[in-house]
Amino acid sequence: MKKGIAALFLGLLFVLGACGNAGDTSDTEENLEAGEEVYRNNCANCHGNDLSGNGGPELADIGSKYSPEQIEDIVHEGIGSMPPQTQVEGEDLQELSSWLSEQ
């Protein structure tokens, strides 16, 4: 009897696992994750891991101030005392600006 219950429980686990959406990530979620990685590798030193500022301005609400395109321009051209960040280009720049616009 106990083996039957254990087998039923194990079978239920497999069925529920197969029904989950862990492998069903959208392109947007993947881009946001990639954008956060670009941020951590290039921006976090000045703006903090949590966007709270670390010598540079706080970016916690950057998405309510600027569009992704404007954020791309700011990163690429610089603003105020922030110099242009020419090492972030192409897809990395798009992913970063998309992720920041959601913050």
Q: What is the pLDDT of residues 19-42, one digit of tens each?
A: 444 444 455 566 668 999 999 999
Name the nearest CA neighbour of 47 among 56, 38, 37.
56
Residue spans of the domains in the chain: they are 27-101
Q: Write the DSSP symbol of residue 88.
A: S
pTM value is 0.68
Q: What is the pLDDT of residues 45-63, one digit of tens each?
A: 999 999 999 889 999 999 9
Helix (H, G, I), strand (E, B) or coil at 79: strand
Q: Write the DSSP symbol of residue 83.
A: P
Q: Are 72 and 93 in contact (CB under 8 A)?
A: yes
For the chain, what's the residue count?
Answer: 103
Provide the pLDDT confidence category of residue 13 given band limits of 50, 70 and 90: very low
Neighbours of 34 (CB within 10 A): 17
Give the class (CATH, top level) of 27-101. mainly alpha
